[in-house]
Chain A
Amino acid sequence: GQNIDQPTEMTATEGAIVQINCTYQTSGFNGLFWYQQHAGEAPTFLSYNVLDGLEEKGRFSSFLSRSKGYSYLLLKELQMKDSASYLCAVRKQDGQNFVFGPGTRLSVLP
């Protein structure tokens, strides 16, 4: 089977740090992606992990543990514009065959 879990909603304060977790069980693994989706807009790419460890990209970092089927997205110095849904997605073995998680709706409060 294929299953990706994320918390449904999270709330954080402007300037703070938030960690969004993602656990997955999929048949085949060829990378884990995080996307940001603002309400009414298309998803946009944030990060990619294929090996274990931390990938840092400005205010955003993503971590992967393949043995645990676990990833997290870390957002630092939160800004109001970071209020959005964050989608965790696993790419299966070949091609662009993705399984997406349900998304985590993040609300950043002043």
Chain B
Amino acid sequence: KAGVTQTPRYLIKTRGQQVTLSCSPISGHRSVSWYQQTPGQGLQFLFEYFSETQRNKGNFPGRFSGRQFSNSRSEMNVSTLELGDSALYLCASSLPRGGSNEQFFGPGTRLTVL
């Protein structure tokens, strides 16, 4: 079974630009979560999508948004990029609910904002 895939793997943008990252979950997984990982703040939850609906949201500004398609693929968008948005963005997929439904992480997209 193929794992979680994320594209692109690396991205360089400048302040003020916007960026879209893509995530394809493991086949059959309908929950997709997004995280930001930085050396200073660690791994921080951005949002979770299930059945094309945002089910949970972390404490990030409105510049961070996402969506999920009917095939469970998800995208996240960051508008008006700031230097502090430089981070590794991880996507994780899982079965929808309950028990030890572990999250399977993708390799991440390394975003650098100049």
Contacts and interface: CB of A to CB of B under 8 A. Distances in A.
A45 B102 contact: yes
B104 interface: yes
A97 B56 contact: yes
Interface residues of B, number: 25
A96 B31 contact: yes
Given A45-B102, A48-B100, A96 B33 contact: yes
Interface stretch (A11-19, A66-74, A99-107): A99-107
Nearest to A49: B100
B43 A87 contact: yes
B33 A98 contact: yes
Interface string A59-101: 0000000000000000000000000000101001011111111
A96 B94 contact: yes
Main secondary structure of the interface of B (DSSP, over half): strand
Main secondary structure of the interface of A (DSSP, over half): loop
A100 B31 contact: no
Interface string B42-54: 1111001010000
Contact of A42 (B33, B50, B58, B108): B108
Contact of A103 (B42, B56, B90): B42
B103 interface: yes
Nearest to B43: A100
B103 A96 contact: yes
B97 A102 contact: no
A67 B27 CA distance: 38
Interface of B: 31, 33, 35, 42-45, 48, 50, 55-56, 58, 90, 92, 94, 97, 100-108
Interface of A: 31, 33, 41-45, 48, 50, 87, 89, 92, 94-103
- Which 7 A-B pairs have CB atoms at the shortest separation, nearest pair first? A42-B105, A48-B100, A45-B102, A97-B56, A100-B43, A95-B55, A95-B56
